[in-house]
């Protein structure tokens, strides 16, 4: 399968090239929209492309997925969605094989669960399986519905984590965090401190939205985090992605926020939908795939005298190690950072970690 993916004559499927162009031009933004659009493209690939075996389909998805992953390396949810679909293909094939060859008993016995690793046909996807395409389309439709309800599933847990009259701190702007705080404020009075997250200052947008929702909100600069941390009861943040070890790829400034929280023993709660969990490790802090350098005009104006002699950098992300995170709230419940590896094992197949 991998050799086929290296064939340079293979072209992107219909819609994929346009999708990449739209993402690069920022016509499609936000992790949820990216995951939903990627899933829709893969559903079209499954339903409209001619294939006869699961092995052919996996090869096809891997080739097209590699186009997407290499063109959009920083949008990790795209690669995550591709891996999730490949896991679903394997599961549906194995389920069909068990039903077909096991006299209709789709539930494996304890003995088979212990010995299934030695099953020579378990990783053989070269046999045609009747009804596989319809089963895949139905399963992918369920995943699409799950993506639509992700925000509601996370915000529904707000009452479990935010109590009356608590002082909550967050940083930057996150749709998930905004929805979470709005949901909590419906049943109890809360106060929110928003870090503006310079130089982009997207925290100002969140503070304005919460203020319009009649939530008592205070906007502070990044430099004031440590000074006010002793008064904070809880920190609730979003994240760009969750790495395999439970670490975060979060907005720049989150690391200093988490360090301050650890100093004052303030719990850090991360809102992370399952499509942001990725089987990727941070191998090198300086690697280009992890971070993006943004426009430095707000840091050091180009026309200033100092700009002639100074190099300015504006990284968009911070790496936050798992020991600084208290709890992850996903659309399937709450988990400690040490449990992330198990969730990733349920979402993705080990053979699909490298597309």
Report CA-CA distances (Å) from 314 to 78, 199, 219, 267.
24, 8, 22, 28
Confidence label for 123 from pLDDT (cuts 50, 70 and 90): low
Q: Quote the pLDDT of residue 3.
A: 41
> Strand, helix or coil at 35?
helix
* 199 shares a domain with 50: no
Given a cut of 60, is residue 102 above it in pLDDT?
no
Instruction: Please indicate, yes or no, if residue 259 is contained in any of the structural domains.
Output: yes
134 and 195 together in one domain: no
Q: Is the pLDDT of residue 167 over 80?
A: yes
pLDDT digits (tens, 9 = 90+) for 176-191: 999 999 999 999 999 9
Q: Look at residue 7 and tell me if it is in a domain.
A: no
DSSP per residue over 193-222, as a string?
EEE--TTTTTHHHHHHHHHHTT-EEEEE-G
Report pLDDT for 292.
82
pTM, entire model: 0.85
Q: With 50 as the cut, is the pLDDT of residue 1 above it?
A: no
Cis before 199 (ω within 30): yes
- On whether the CB atoms of residues 244 and 301 are closer than 8 A, the answer is no
Q: Could you report the per-residue pLDDT of 43-74, keeping only the tens digit for each?
A: 999 988 888 888 899 999 999 999 998 898 88
Where is average pLDDT lowest: 17-21, 90-94, 115-119, 222-226? Answer: 115-119
The mean pLDDT value for 252-275 works out to 95
Of 45, 53, 135, nearest in space to 82 by CA: 45
- CATH number of 49's domain: 1.20.120.420
Same domain, 174 and 26: no
191 and 311 assigned to the same domain: yes
Q: Are residues 178 and 280 in the same domain?
A: yes
**Same domain, yes or no, for 138 and 257?**
no
pLDDT digits (tens, 9 = 90+) for 3-12: 444 444 567 7
Alpha helices of the chain — where are they, by DSSP H?
2-5, 16-24, 31-48, 54-71, 76-101, 110-115, 132-148, 150-155, 158-161, 175-185, 203-212, 225-228, 254-263, 340-347
Q: What is the mean pLDDT of residues 276-287?
A: 77
Q: Is 109 within a domain?
A: no
Tell me how far apart the alpha carbons of residues 194 and 174 are, in angstroms, rounded to a whole number.
11
Q: Comparing C-alpha atoms, which of 53, 236, 81, 226 is closest to residue 143?
A: 81
- What per-residue confidence (pLDDT) applies to 352? 87
| pLDDT bucket at 109, cuts 50 / 70 / 90 | low
Please report which confidence band the pLDDT of residue 98 belongs to, taking 50, 70 and 90 as the band edges. low
Among residues of the chain, what percentage have pLDDT more than 70? 88
Q: What is the mean pLDDT of residues 348-352?
A: 89
Query: 334: alpha, beta or left, given left = phi > 0 and alpha = psi -120 to 50?
Result: beta
Q: Which of 70-79, 122-131, 212-221 has the lowest mean pLDDT?
A: 122-131
Q: What is the CATH number of the domain that holds 293?
A: 3.40.50.10470
pLDDT for the residue numbered 294: 83
CA dihedral 189, 262, 334, 141 (to 10 degrees): 100
Give the distance from CA 186 to its chain's centroid.
27
Let me know whether 136 and 195 are in one domain: no
Q: Would you give the end-to-end CA distance of the chain in angstroms?
A: 11
Residue 338 clears pLDDT 80, i.e. is over it: yes
For 91, the 3-state DSSP assignment is: helix
Taking alpha carbons only, the member of 59, 60, 82 closest to residue 71 is 82
What pLDDT is recorded for position 113? 53
Residues 143 and 255 in one domain: no
Residue-level pLDDT at 2? 40
Same structural domain, 65 and 170: no
Note the residue count of the chain.
355
The side-by-side arrangement of strands in the sheet containing 241-242 is: 241-242, 248-251, 317-320
Tell me the H-state helices in 251-308. 254-263
Residue 319 phi/psi, 5-degree rounding, is -100, 125
Are 137 and 206 within one domain?
Answer: no
pLDDT at residue number 192: 96
SS (H, E, C) 315-340: ECEEEECHHHCCEEEECCEEECHHHH
Q: Are residues 178 and 92 in the same domain?
A: no
* Residues contacting 328, CB < 8 A, separation 6+: 242, 246, 269, 270, 272, 334, 335, 336, 337, 340
Q: Which pLDDT value is given to residue 89?
A: 92
Number of domains in the chain: 2
User: What digits encode the pLDDT tens for the residues 283-325?
Assistant: 766 555 678 888 888 888 888 888 888 888 888 899 999 999 9
The percentage of residues in the chain with a pLDDT greater than 90, rounded to a whole number, is: 57
In this predicted structure, what is the pLDDT of residue 6? Answer: 47
Which residues form the domain of 94?
A: 16-99+126-147
């Amino acid at each position: 399968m991998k050799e086929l993916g290296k064939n340079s004559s293979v072209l992107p499927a219909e819609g994929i090239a346009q999708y990449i162009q739209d993402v690069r031009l920022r016509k499609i933004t936000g992790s949820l929209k990216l995951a939903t659009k990627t899933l829709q493209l893969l559903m079209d690939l499954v339903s409209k492309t001619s294939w006869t075996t699961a092995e052919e389909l996996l090869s096809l998805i891997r080739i097209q997925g590699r186009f997407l992953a290499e063109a959009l390396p920083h949008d990790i949810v795209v690669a995550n969605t591709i891996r999730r679909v490949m896991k679903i293909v394997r599961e549906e094939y194995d389920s069909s094989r068990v039903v077909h060859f096991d006299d209709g008993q789709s539930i494996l016995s304890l003995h088979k669960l212990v010995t299934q690793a030695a099953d020579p046909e378990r990783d053989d996807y070269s046999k045609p399986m009747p009804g596989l395409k319809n089963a895949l389309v139905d399963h992918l439709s369920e995943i699409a519905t799950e993506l639509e309800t992700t925000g509601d599933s996370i915000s529904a847990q707000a009452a479990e984590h935010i109590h009356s009259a608590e002082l909550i701190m967050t940083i930057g702007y996150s749709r998930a965090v905004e929805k979470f705080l709005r949901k909590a404020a419906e049943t109890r009075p809360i106060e929110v401190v928003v870090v503006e997250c310079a130089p982009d200052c997207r925290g100002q947008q969140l503070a304005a939205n919460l203020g319009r929702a009649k939530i008592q909100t205070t906007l502070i600069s990044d430099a004031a985090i440590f000074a006010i941390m002793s008064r904070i009861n809880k920190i609730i943040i979003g994240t760009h992605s969750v790495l395999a070890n439970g670490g975060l790829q979060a907005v720049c400034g989150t690391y200093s926020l988490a360090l301050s929280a650890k100093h004052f023993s303030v719990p850090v709660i991360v809102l992370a939908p399952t499509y942001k969990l990725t089987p990727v490790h941070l191998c090198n802090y300086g690697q280009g795939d992890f971070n993006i350098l943004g426009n430095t005009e707000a840091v050091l104006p180009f026309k200033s005298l100092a700009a002639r002699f100074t190099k300015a950098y504006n990284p968009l992300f911070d790496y936050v190690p798992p020991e600084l995170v208290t709890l992850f709230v996903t659309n399937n419940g709450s988990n400690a950072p040490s449990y992330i590896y198990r969730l990733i094992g349920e979402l993705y197949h080990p053979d699909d970690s490298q597309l």
